[in-house]
Amino acid sequence: MKQLFTTVTIFLLLCAGAFAQPVVDDKAVVVREKNVFVNPSDNEFMGKIGMGYAFDPGRFGLDLSFNYVYNLDPYFVVGLEADFFWVSWENKLGDVTAGGGAEASLKAETNMYNFPVFANAQLRLPFLRQKIYFEPFITVGLGYNFMILDYTSDVEDGTDFFSGFAWQMIFTAAYRLPQGSAVDFLLDLGYRGMKPQKGNVEIDMSGPVMRLGVRLYI
C-alpha cells in the first residue's frame, strides 16, 4: 500500500506540472497580444483640415480641427478640441445707374467665423488594425461655439457676435505607417450641431463635416 500510495502521488505531481505549464504560456501570450495595441505614448496631437456644411446659409466652408488626446487605455480616450469653421459668400444686391448713365452693381460679402471648442470622449477598436489595416474610432463631444458674423456691402457694413451650445459625433479611420512610426493618417466623417444665438436671432450652423489629417504621438 505504501508503494502504491507513493506511485500515485508521483503520478499526480507529474500531471499537475504538465497542466500547469500551458497556463503560464497562455498568460504570456495574452500579455504579448495586449502589448500590440499599446500606443507609443499616452499623449496624442491631431491636426486636420477639410470642409463642413452649414444649413442656414446653405453653403460649404473651410474646416480646421486641432485635438489633444490622453489615452486612458487602448480602447477609451478623452481629450480637448478647438476648431475653426469659416463660411464666406458674395451676393449681388442689384444694379444702379450712376452719373452719366453708367451702370454699377451693388455687392455684399458675408463671412461667418466659427470657433467651436469641445470636450471629447472617444471609443477605439485597435484590434481591428491587425485585420483591416485601419483603426476605427468614434468621438462624441460637447462644447460651445463662438461666431463672428461680418457683413460688408456697398451700402452698409456690420459685425455681430453669436454664441451657443455645440455637439458633435465623428467617425474616424486611422491608418498607421510601418511599425515604429509615430504618425498616423486620419479620415473624419461626422456631424456637428451648432445654433449660435444673439438675442432672438438664431443661425443654424449645423451640418456634416469631412476632414483629413495626421495623428502624432508626443
47 vs 126, more confident: 47
Confidence of residue 21 (pLDDT cuts 50, 70, 90): very low
Nearest to 69 by CA among 147, 167, 174: 174
Confidence of residue 101 (pLDDT cuts 50, 70, 90): low
* Residue tagged 442656414 (cell numbers): 56
Rounded to two decimals, the pTM is 0.75
Q: Which letter, b or e, does each residue of 56-88 get, where b requires 16 or more Cβ atoms within 10 Å of its Cβ?
A: bbeeebebbbebebebeebeebebebebebebe
Q: What's the confidence (pLDDT) of residue 32?
A: 35
Contact criterion met (CB below 8 Å) for 62 and 85: yes
Confidence of residue 92 (pLDDT cuts 50, 70, 90): low
Contact criterion met (CB below 8 Å) for 64 and 81: no
Q: How many residues does the chain have?
A: 218
Instruction: Indicate whether 31 pLDDT > 90.
Output: no
The Cα 188–Cα 168 span in angstroms is 12
